[in-house]
Every structure is written in structure tokens, then in C-alpha cells.
Structure 1
Amino acid sequence: MNHAQKGFTLIELMIVVAIIGILAAVAIPQYQDYTARTQVSRLVGEVNALKSNAESIFNNGGQIGTEDDLTTDPRTIGIGWTGSNLVENGTGAANAPDYGLTINNPAAANMSWNVVMGTDASAAVRGATITVTRTLQGAYNCVVTPPTTNNGWKDSYAPAGCPAS
């Protein structure tokens, strides 16, 4: 009588589980790094998109604000930030008009704006600050300041065009 094997041995199952465990140990940290890097790059893009709005406001004789106030001289014009779920303070009507965007020295040509990563951002990048600064000559500089509490931050999370300081 010929008896064929009808299943896997315990050793075979343990080997498969061990291989899956090794793959997961490598893949999960890589995925978390990829997610963190992507979130920083996305927010840098969202913040840098405000440059053209800022230039338009300056070229039309206005000053930059978080919302329109046409009663001031020069006129204060909102920079056009609509918020992001990756920014501390989040988005939505219940929040301040800037939705997490801080504008520094808005009436001057050498102004800047920044956001702090929070809310839906990965724990490794939560608390990082992205700052865009305009020089008197009209050139822009972008810098990512790492979070004060290191929850796994790596300088490689900052994109090349907006390096970590």
C-alpha cells in the first residue's frame, strides 16, 4: 500500500513562518521610511507652491497675510494657503484662518512662512518645521528643521531642494 503525504510537516511550516518574519522585519522599516520621506516631500511642495502667490501680491503692491483685508494700506492679501492634513492644527473652518501656516514679517520683501508637521504625519516627521524664506532680492530658500523630539527623524527625509538644517 502506498501512503502519500497529506500535508506539511511542522519543520516546513516553521521555515515558512521564519522567512515571512525576516521579510517583514526588512520591509516594515523601509515602508515607514518611504512614507515619512513622501510626506515631507508632499508638504514641501504644498508650501513652495505659495511662492507664485507671494510674488503676485508683491508685484501688485500688496502685503501678504493669512486672509484678505482690503482696508489696510497697502492691501493685505491672503497668500492662498488652504491647509493640509499633514500640518499641525489640521484644516477646517474650526481652525484659525491660517490653518497652521505662520507668516513672519509679512509686510517686508524678506518675509517667510512656515508650517509644523503634525496631525496625520508619520511619527518620525511630526514636529518638523518647513520654512520658506524670501530674500530682499526675490530669491527663495527652503529649509526643513528636524523635530525637537527625535522619534526616528533622518535627514534623508528632507528633499534635495529643501535640505534639513
Structure 2
Amino acid sequence: MKAQMQKGFTLIELMIVVAIIGILAAIAIPQYQNYVAKSQVSRVMSESGALKTAVESCMLEGVSTTCTLGWSASNLLAGAAVTTGQTGLTVDIDTAGNTATIEATFGQNAAATLSGQKLAWYRGTTGAWRCGTDVDSKYRPTGCSSDLDAAEQEAEEGSEDGEGA
């Protein structure tokens, strides 16, 4: 008598494969969400940092309230702003004090863990720019302080190490 050959997979083999995929997904999805949030913080840091040149130009021209920044709207910011036309982005230029602040608030399409948190660039009287944010350290980009107030203070003190933009 001929032995019948098995065709396909048994139910237990399929259940094992599904369990393995489930375990891998349980590990991968949270890691992917962290990666997305960190990339969004880096994106906002770059987008808002690009405004430093426009702000410097306005300061050199002595313009503080009617400054044209050339900002393209970002879908990661939320809140209210008057000077930029972009919700979630405020720019404060003090030509008399020779200081400026660019502050972005996360919202809209940003990761839920970032919503309402801020990332800011501070320009001190010496022209040194410093970045500060209140987002969790696992999302914070390199070169951005963990404390908004500390970053503002560092900008005020100036750059002792030649770093400043």
C-alpha cells in the first residue's frame, strides 16, 4: 500500500507561525512609533531652524513686527500664532535687545506623545543660537537641550566653544 503524502501545512504549524508573527509585531510596532516620533522632532528642529537666517536678516534690517519669514506651513505644528501665519509657530524678534525666539508647538499630525510639547530656538545678544525642547529624552535630537529655560540661558551667555548656529 502506498503512503499518502501530506499536502500543505497542519493547523498546529500555521498556529505557530501566527504566534511568532504576533510576538515580532508586539516588539516592532512600539519601536517604530518611537522612531516616527523622533523623526518628527528632528523635522521640526530643521524646519524651525531654517528660520534663523530670515530672523537674522530681519534683525540686521531693524524689522521686528513686519518681518517676512518665507515659511512653508508644517502639518506637525498646532496652536495659535500671529507673526508667522502658521499655527503652532511663534517668532519673537527684539531688535532693541538683540535677541530672538523661534518656538514651535507640536500638534496636528505629530505623534500623540509629542502633542502640546515645544521646541524652541533662542538667539542671545552675542548672536549665538541654542535649541531647547521639553520632549522626552528618547525623542530629543542631538544638539537640543533638554530644558527650554536652560537653552535660553545658554544663548544669553553666548557661545564659549565657537558653536552658535
Is the shorter-chain TM-score for this pair beyond 0.5, marking a shared fold?
A: yes
Counterpart secondary structure, 1:119: coil
Which runs of 4 or more aligned residues in structure 1 lie more than 4 Å from their structure 2 counterparts after TM superposition?
A: none
Aligned residue runs from structure 1 range 43-58, under 5 A = 43-58=44-59
Q: Which amino acid aligns with 1:80?
A: G
Of 111, 117, 120, the residue aligned with 2:106 is 117
Measured in 1, the distance between the counterparts of 2:31 and 2:110 equals 16
Measured in 1, the distance between the counterparts of 2:12 and 2:145 equals 50
Q: Which structure is higher in helix share?
A: 2
Q: 1:113-134 deviations in whole A, cap 9, x for unaligned?
A: 2010000101111111011111
Q: Which amino acid aligns with 1:56?
A: S
The structural deviation recorded for 1:105 is: 4.9
Q: Which amino acid aligns with 2:115?
A: R
Conserved in 2, the CA contact under 8 Å of 1:155 and 1:164? yes
Q: 1:78-135 deviations in whole A, cap 9, x for unaligned?
A: 2332321000049xxxx85531221235444112120100001011111110111110
Unaligned runs of 5+ in 2: 148-165
- Please say if 1:98 is aligned against 2:79: no
Unaligned runs of 5+ in 1: 66-75, 147-153
Counterpart secondary structure, 1:86: coil
Q: TM-score, normalised by structure 2?
A: 0.78
Give percent identity, aligned residues only: 42
Q: 1:54-92 deviations in whole A, cap 9, x for unaligned?
A: 111222x22233xxxxxxxxxx322332321000049xx
Q: TM-score, normalised by structure 1?
A: 0.78
Measured in 2, the distance between the counterparts of 1:109 and 1:80 equals 21
Aligned residue runs from structure 1 range 40-79, under 5 A = 40-59=41-60, 61-65=61-65, 76-79=66-69
- Please say if 1:162 is aligned against 2:144: yes
Name the counterpart of 1:150: none
- Please say if 1:143 is aligned against 2:143: no
Of 71, 74, 77, the residue aligned with 1:87 is 77
Measured in 2, the distance between the counterparts of 1:135 and 1:77 equals 19
The alignment yields a C-alpha RMSD, in angstroms, of 1.9
Conserved in 2, the CA contact under 8 Å of 1:116 and 1:130? yes
How many residues were matched structurally? Answer: 143
Q: Which amino acid aligns with 1:99?
A: Q
